[in-house]
């Protein structure tokens, strides 16, 4: 008798309740329906992506790309606001009332010569979609179509942000200044990830990508004949000491458990073998997993350059190139929103398909949105040896597994829809 009741007890706790079963069935229906709608759009998504890929455009010049996507939105009867930050625009779908959630894609390409020989290779010499932004743009357009088909059931508003100039131009910051976020209370973005297979995603709460800036330092001395160094003030020696001193900033001043990078990537000065030049220019990049860390590093770089130059009787100055390449904050994923991505990803693609992302010291201007509202930037897998999708972004051999397109469109859609469902205002009397 005792044995029987024990067996019954274990059966009770291990079997799902009827509510759980109903919920599971509902979830399965949702997933099947959404993925099959997205799959039906696959050929259309591929054709859009290939058009964008053939005519890549650099930051703030994404006119054709912007035209193409807006033309498609018009055909779908989806309203949008244009222009924002030159070529950017925001489409809006839903009730027009809160809750409001934002999805974001970047549209710009890289100054890179594509070396992949295929039918839809870039037709613009020296410009390539080598970071997958053509896929990001197409996937968000795909989401626009899916959300529009399902708009009667949307419990709020989705803002779809198509932005220019992610590659160094801080397009996101201009979009924000010009009101792109509207009343959005959370934002989600995805970036193709060649390190994980198609059909998977990778995400992480907290710091995920670095705060980034660039710098150019100029060290002025006094040029002269190389045979008479005493009659000149040598900026080459001053620059050499400066480069070495800069390398001590991270090794001696940063908590070893923190992450920063200081890379000097070029040295320019002089052109003759027997002339001491009047100045030397060095330049490079600074990175930190915290925005405050980057600001401190910027300050110390200025102090070291000025100090080292002075030691060698030169004058030193640093330009952080903020006009040309504005500093990016660190990309910090909100914990609660990250749980949402995790749950939606598991539901749509299966629990095994959600990986833990690695932190990378690259930058992403999505971080600007996260300074205003909670958000998550996560990776969406494109690795597929069969089609040659094995190269890192910014490689001239970068190649996309186009199977990702409907997956990304469905994922964007589910993330937004389910966010709205879970953030209904609670009315109190
Ligand atoms: Ni990118």
Cβ atoms within 10 Å, residue 133: 27
The Cα 40–Cα 30 span in angstroms is 16
Rounded distance from Cα 106 to ligand 1 centre (Å): 8
Rounded distance from Cα 132 to ligand 1 centre (Å): 6
Query: Whose CA is closest to 373, among 85, 97, 101, 175?
Result: 101
Rounded distance from Cα 133 to ligand 1 centre (Å): 6
Query: Whose CA is closest to 53, among 115, 120, 138?
Result: 120
Residue-wise pLDDT for 207-255, tens only, equals: 999 999 999 999 999 999 999 999 999 999 999 999 999 999 999 999 9
Residue-wise pLDDT for 182-198, tens only, equals: 999 999 999 999 999 99
Work out the angle at residue 45's Cα, subtended by the Cα atoms of residues 44 and 49, and round it to the nearest 5 degrees: 120
pLDDT score for 428: 52
Give 4's pLDDT tier (boundaries 50, 70, 90).
very low
pLDDT score for 12: 46
The Cα 137–Cα 57 span in angstroms is 13
Give 14's pLDDT tier (boundaries 50, 70, 90).
low
Contact by Cβ (8 Å): 194, 131: no
Rounded average pLDDT over 253-280: 97
Residue-wise pLDDT for 84-122, tens only, equals: 999 999 999 999 999 999 999 999 999 999 999 999 999
Cβ atoms within 10 Å, residue 393: 17
pLDDT at 11 over 50: no
Q: Which residues pair with 262 in a beta bridge?
A: 286
pLDDT at 18 over 80: no
What does the block give as tokens for 301?
């770089």
pLDDT score for 9: 45
Rounded average pLDDT over 349-368: 97
- Mean residue pLDDT across the chain: 95
Rounded distance from Cα 108 to ligand 1 centre (Å): 9
pLDDT score for 425: 84
Give 15's pLDDT tier (boundaries 50, 70, 90).
low
Rounded distance from Cα 55 to ligand 1 centre (Å): 17
pLDDT score for 25: 83
Rounded distance from Cα 82 to ligand 1 centre (Å): 23
What does the block give as tokens for 175?
């979009």
Report the percent of the chain where pLDDT is more than 70.
96
Cβ atoms within 10 Å, residue 386: 8
Rounded distance from Cα 354 to ligand 1 centre (Å): 20
Contact by Cβ (8 Å): 165, 85: yes
Residue-wise pLDDT for 387-396, tens only, equals: 999 999 999 9
Rounded distance from Cα 365 to ligand 1 centre (Å): 9
Rounded distance from Cα 355 to ligand 1 centre (Å): 20
pLDDT score for 427: 59
The Cα 101–Cα 82 span in angstroms is 19
- Beta strands 206-209 and 331-333, pairing class: antiparallel
What does the block give as tokens for 161?
């942000």
Rounded distance from Cα 110 to ligand 1 centre (Å): 9
Rounded distance from Cα 229 to ligand 1 centre (Å): 48
Dihedrals phi, psi of 265, to nearest 5 degrees: -110, -10
Rounded distance from Cα 263 to ligand 1 centre (Å): 21
What does the block give as tokens for 145?
């179509």
Contact by Cβ (8 Å): 52, 162: no
Contact by Cβ (8 Å): 103, 160: yes
Rounded distance from Cα 399 to ligand 1 centre (Å): 13
Rounded average pLDDT over 135-148: 98
Rounded distance from Cα 149 to ligand 1 centre (Å): 29
pLDDT score for 10: 46
Rounded distance from Cα 191 to ligand 1 centre (Å): 7
The Cα 131–Cα 408 span in angstroms is 16
Contact by Cβ (8 Å): 337, 375: yes
- Beta strands 100-106 and 186-197, pairing class: parallel
Residue-wise pLDDT for 159-179, tens only, equals: 999 999 999 999 999 999 999
pLDDT at 294 over 80: yes
pLDDT score for 225: 98
Report the percent of the chain where pLDDT is more than 90.
92
Rounded distance from Cα 230 to ligand 1 centre (Å): 50
Q: Does this model's pTM top 0.85?
A: yes
Rounded average pLDDT over 371-392: 97
Rounded distance from Cα 317 to ligand 1 centre (Å): 31
Rounded distance from Cα 134 to ligand 1 centre (Å): 10
């Amino acid at each position: 008798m005792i044995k029987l009741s024990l067996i019954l007890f274990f059966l009770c706790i291990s079997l799902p309740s009827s509510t759980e079963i109903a919920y599971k069935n509902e979830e399965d229906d949702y997933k099947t329906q959404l993925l099959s709608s997205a799959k039906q759009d696959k050929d259309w998504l591929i054709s859009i992506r290939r058009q964008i890929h053939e005519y890549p455009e650099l930051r703030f010049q994404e006119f054709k790309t912007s035209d193409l996507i807006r033309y498609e939105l018009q055909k779908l009867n989806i309203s949008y606001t244009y222009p924002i930050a030159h070529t950017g625009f925001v489409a809006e779908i839903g009730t027009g009332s809160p809750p409001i959630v934002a999805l974001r894609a970047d549209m710009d390409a890289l100054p890179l010569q594509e070396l992949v020989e295929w039918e839809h290779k870039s037709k613009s010499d020296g410009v390539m979609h080598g970071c997958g932004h053509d896929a990001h743009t197409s996937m968000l357009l795909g989401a626009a179509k899916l959300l529009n088909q399902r708009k009667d059931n949307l419990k709020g508003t989705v803002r779809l942000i198509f932005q220019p100039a992610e590659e160094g131009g801080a397009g996101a910051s201009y979009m924000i200044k010009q009101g792109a976020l509207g009343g959005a209370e959370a934002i989600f973005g995805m970036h193709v990830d060649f390190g994980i297979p198609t059909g998977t995603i990778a995400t992480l709460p907290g710091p995920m990508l670095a705060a980034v800036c660039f710098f150019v330092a100029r060290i002025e001395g006094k040029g002269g004949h190389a045979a008479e160094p005493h009659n000149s003030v040598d900026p080459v020696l001053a620059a050499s000491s400066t480069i070495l001193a800069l390398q001590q900033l991270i090794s001696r001043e940063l908590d070893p458990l923190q992450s920063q990078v200081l890379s000097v990537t070029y040295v320019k000065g002089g052109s003759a073998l027997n002339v001491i030049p009047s100045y030397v220019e060095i330049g490079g990049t600074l990175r930190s997993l915290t925005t405050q860390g980057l600001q401190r590093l910027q300050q110390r770089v200025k102090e070291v350059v000025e100090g080292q130059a002075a030691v060698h009787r030169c004058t030193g100055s640093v330009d952080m190139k903020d006009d040309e390449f504005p500093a990016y904050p660190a990309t910090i994923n909100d914990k609660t929103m990250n749980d949402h991505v995790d749950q939606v990803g598991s539901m749509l693609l299966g629990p095994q398909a959600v990986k833990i992302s690695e932190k990378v010291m690259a930058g992403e201007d999505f971080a600007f949105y996260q300074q205003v509202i909670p958000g998550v930037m996560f990776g969406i897998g494109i690795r597929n040896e069969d089609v040659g999708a094995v190269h890192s972004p910014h490689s001239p051999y970068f190649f996309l597994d186009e199977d990702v397109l409907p997956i990304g469109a469905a994922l964007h859609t589910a993330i937004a829809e389910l966010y709205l469902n879970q953030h209904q205002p609670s009315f109190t009397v």
